Chains A and B, each alone.
Chain A
Amino acid sequence: MENAYSFALGAVVISLSVITTWGIMLVLTLIAWLSTRSLKLFPGARQTVFESIVTAIDEAILAVAPEHGRQIMPFIASLWIFLTIANLIGLIPGLHSPTRDLSVTAALAVLVFFSVHWFGIKTQGLKRYLHHYLTPSPILLPFHIISEFTRTLALAIRLFGNMMSLEMAAMLILLVAGFLAPIPILMLHIIEALVQAYIFGMLALIYLAGAIQSQQLNPQE
């Protein structure tokens, strides 16, 4: 079914996940533009809602990474916002969550992987950043390397597995039990979508904060 919505631009096949992602991007861009078009010092209700969202995200990030929170805030906040909408968009009939596509979750996980190293090197320098792989003992270097890959893989698989299974379960129940029975499952879908978005973003934040502040956590080194 998914292939029916995809199309090809020459050799490049544009999947439904990409199209949905573009749609989400378009909506987010419109919302962002409209919400910040006429900001006022004394905000109205709409501005207050958006400011509250940004403030809540900002405070959550600063609580984990107080010194470099503002650097990683756009990345983490974008993850949370995109994943929340991407996870919930499956509730709309005819649409599917991009996050049930392993390619999408893998792309996000790889972005997190590279972001960890990018921000780590940016804030500490290459030598000091690489040095933390040798702590507390060089023996642990292989385990550190394995950990880097496995946690990235875990990020991708966790989100993909949960969202795919959730949509599949909802679809099966809908097919088996009729129209009203899937409502509790849909409620569960909402909760699960929010939880998974939060988990993915929070894990990414923790990884980033760990990379940024690895030396600060062990100042004697």
Chain B
Amino acid sequence: MEFSTTTFILEIINFLVLIWILQRLFYKPLLEMIAKRKQHIDQSLEKAKKLHDEAEEQRRLYENRQQLWEQEKKAAQSELHQQFEVEKSAQLEKLRRELEQERQKANVTLTRQQEEFQQHVEKQALENGARFAGLILQQTAGPEVENRLFDLLIDQLAFLPEAAKSSLQLADSKKSLIVKVSSAYLLSNDQRQQLEQKLGLLISPLMNFQYQQDTALIAGVRIDIGAWVLQANVRQELAGFAEIAYESE
């Protein structure tokens, strides 16, 4: 345990030199590097924080934009829905009117068809009725009926309207008139003379009478004087009956 002043002094110097060396070569570079790394980390963290903040800002913007888009979408959907409802209502109204028109048209057509059908049926019924009546009268009619109709014709000639008489007289007074007399049964001579006398008095004495039998008349007489036709027969009456009944509708 010796104390050496030289060693003491040298150790002090040594240690001070060691402090200086370590400070220059060891502590300072390492601490500077650590500080630099810390600064780098701080900068990285700051940059990361900045990026994070920017990302958050972008996210907020995106969310706001998305929210706006959602609102715009809902508004557009609502508007479209309203337009659709309006259009649908208009189309439905138009369709309803068209249907109404079509229904009215159909009703009119149906009514007309019904009326036509009814008229056709009625006409058919009348014709059938006339035909049946004709068949019955054809079976039941005979010379007696014809004689009575001939008498009726003779009687009626006296009561012809003046206009008809004048027309027959004006037909042609210079040459003889051809008078076609058709009857269901052949007229007797008396009847022919009676007819010729009556017509000669009524119209003109110059007449050429042509007689013929026409069973289609069923019973009675038909007289053709030029354009004029005087009829007193069952067939004409039946036809007239049917026409009158048809015209009365």
Show the binding face of A for B, using Cβ within 8 Å. Answer: 12-15, 17-18, 21-22, 25, 28-29, 31-33, 35-36, 39, 41, 43, 47, 50-51, 54-55, 58, 73-75, 77-78, 81-82, 98, 101-104, 106-108, 110-111, 160, 164
CA distance A78 to B18 in the complex (A): 7
Residues of A with C-beta under 8 A to B2: 102-103
1/0 per residue, CB under 8 A from A, across B1-39: the answer is 111111111111011111101110111011101101100
Contact pick for A107, options B15, B29, B40, CB 8 Å: B15
Sample 28 A-B pairs with CB under 8 A, ordered by A number: A12-B6, A14-B6, A14-B10, A18-B7, A18-B14, A21-B10, A21-B14, A25-B18, A28-B22, A28-B26, A35-B26, A36-B29, A41-B37, A47-B33, A54-B27, A54-B30, A74-B19, A74-B22, A78-B15, A98-B11, A102-B2, A102-B3, A103-B5, A104-B8, A104-B11, A106-B3, A110-B12, A164-B1
Q: Please tell me if the beta carbons of B11 and A107 are within 8 angstroms of each other in the complex.
A: yes
State whether A29 and B15 are in contact (beta carbons under 8 Å apart), knowing that A103-B3, A103-B4, A104-B7 are contacts in the complex. no
Residues of B with C-beta under 8 A to A103: 2-5, 7-8, 11
Q: Please tell me if the beta carbons of B31 and A82 are within 8 angstroms of each other in the complex.
A: no
Q: Please tell me if the beta carbons of B17 and A25 are within 8 angstroms of each other in the complex.
A: yes
Chain A nearest Cβ from B15, distance in angstroms = 6
CA distance A104 to B13 in the complex (A): 11
Q: Please tell me if the beta carbons of A74 and B11 are within 8 angstroms of each other in the complex.
A: no
Q: Give the interface centre of A28, A50, A58, A104 by most chain B CB atoms within 10 Å.
A: A104
Chain A: CB-nearest residue to B12: A107
Q: Please tell me if the beta carbons of A15 and B36 are within 8 angstroms of each other in the complex.
A: no
Chain A nearest Cβ from B119, distance in angstroms = 114
Residues of A with C-beta under 8 A to B10: 14, 18, 21
Contact pick for A73, options B8, B25, B27, CB 8 Å: B27
